[in-house]
Amino acid sequence: MLKQILVLIKISTGFCNINSINWRLNTYYPDLSLTTSDGILFKNVGSYHNVYVKKGNCDDVTDISTPDMIISDDLGAETSSQKMLDIDGPEFGSFFIPIPFIPIPPHNQYCIYCLPHYYLSPPMKFTLSLTEPPGGSGDPHLVLANGQTTDFRGVNNTYFNFITSPGFGFNIKTNDADFMLKKVLVHGSFMTEAHIFTEEAKVSLFGEKIGKTNLVFVNGTCGLERFKLGPHRLLECKTTRIKTEYSSFVVSSFDWELSLRLNFVYNRLKGPFKRIDFEVKKLSNVESHGIIGQSYYLNKDVKGEIDAYPLEGEFTTYSMANGVIDGSYKDYIVSSPYDYKFKYSKYINNSFTKRKTYNTTEIYSN
């Protein structure tokens, strides 16, 4: 019998990649590694199949008769014989990410299988490994490009560079805040402004200017022309693309794609009412630095400093990404929203004639 090889079709939607899988017999399914912002579209082919999930690597799973989660009991009966697994969506998010706002550990694994055909040759099963995409959220908790995490308090009312590369920059402003986290009074901070700049465009999001409805509102310049964008708008400025949704937006360039979301500061006592969370996709092997940008060169086992919250009482956050950044946090301070001059800056005007790239082997050889 002819063995078929699984082909994944990736569809970029701005905030996630949808991986389309033809769920059928006589197909070899390689293990899959995704981020929690991705999705999987299972398409039924031929006979009717179920799609079950068991926590752990398929090689270690013994009892398949009682799945931990059911994606579909009968995929053939689904609308158009297909089912979407939105990993961080409301239906599946609580299973795949059991503790909200706390990044999952690298290589969190799940066995996805068809029960009747688990032991066939080839079997209908594969191991899904999940990591958080690089980015930042909350009080600020950062996910690095090597899959590890760190915390970054920042300094009140101060700009820091998070990504610098030829022709691209991403600066964040942090502001102090007091809030309750269960039984703990936290003196922490949040990311309140985001500023992205390329050679063609400058884009800004100010959290304090957003109203109670959380409708996104961004402003900036394309060349010398100013613009303001509300929800569900699209602006293309040469190779820079800006697309807004209800309370989020995406900025993409030749080398980067940044997804930014507005969120509330929950249980706030003092400080900003709104915070900004973000995710990063590096689209090329261009050289990069900054608090997040340099993490593409880290060994996969390198971890940063994490704030150790008590169970109750009063706590002041302190971590400054120690252990995963070159130099000190002070080396990443910039003077204004679009300032690119700091110790480790890689920004170069006319970057498309001066861009320097590295192959994948060199990036991950540290």
Average pLDDT over residues 91-101: 55
Q: Which domain holds residue 188?
A: 136-363
CA 216/CA 262 separation, integer angstroms: 7
Mention every residue, 6+ apart, whose C-beta is less than 8 A from residue 173.
Answer: 157, 158, 159, 160, 191, 192, 193, 194, 195, 337
pLDDT(162) > 90: yes
Same domain? 112 vs 152: no
CATH of the domain at 62: 2.60.40
pLDDT(106) > 50: no
Q: pLDDT tens digit string along 41-55?
A: 999 998 889 999 999
Same domain? 62 vs 162: no
pTM of the model as a whole: 0.73
Same domain? 115 vs 141: no
Q: pLDDT tens digit string along 235-267?
A: 999 999 999 999 999 999 999 999 999 999 999
pLDDT of residue 12: 41
First to last CA, the chain: 44
Same domain? 119 vs 194: no
pLDDT of residue 13: 41
pLDDT tier for residue 92 given thresholds of 50, 70 and 90: low
Same domain? 55 vs 119: yes
Average pLDDT over residues 206-235: 95
CA 332/CA 36 separation, integer angstroms: 28
CA 285/CA 356 separation, integer angstroms: 9
Domain count, the chain: 2
Same domain? 221 vs 267: yes
Same domain? 166 vs 127: no
Mention every residue, 6+ apart, whose C-beta is less than 8 A from residue 39.
Answer: 16, 17, 18, 19, 84, 85, 86, 87, 89
Same domain? 75 vs 142: no
Same domain? 174 vs 310: yes
Same domain? 140 vs 237: yes
